[in-house]
Amino acid sequence: MGRLLGQELKHTIFAECDLIIPVPQHRKRLRKRGYNQSEIIARGVSEVMNIPLERNLLKRTEHHSSQTSMGRYERYKNVYGNFKLTTYNPEANRKKILLIDDVVTTGATLEACSEVILSGYSSSVYIATVCCA
């Protein structure tokens, strides 16, 4: 799926991005599931578009239940404050960052991640997902 998304994006403005960041999972969810689907997608996009992947810039600090049955406001409350920058990476400053997630429903997760990135860097954030629910 990531390679297909990369093929779709590589002849668009997204091709001008300098760095790809997948939406992180909390370590408990990652341990239970065994993989981060957003990271797998981001890896495929990175390969096709030849844009570096940065997995460690952003982390999820809180573990919550699934958001599938929540509305927009509940989703935003559920993810607000759940993401943090790990350390300052000068390579990410003044860059066009492509934030990758598997699916967007209300945009609450992508918005929360973007706010954290923009609070620490003078960068632009673009978002891409495989599907929209």
In tens, the pLDDT along 22-80 reads: 999 988 888 888 999 999 999 999 999 999 999 989 998 876 656 566 666 676 666 77
Q: What is the DSSP letter of 72?
A: H
Note the CATH number of domain 2-131. 3.40.50.2020
CA of residue 26 relative to chain centroid, distance: 13
The residue type at 11: H
pLDDT tens digits along 70-107: 666 676 666 777 899 998 888 889 999 999 999 998 88
Residue spans per domain, the chain: 2-131
What is each CA distance from 120 to 56, 103, 124, in whole angstroms? Answer: 14, 25, 11
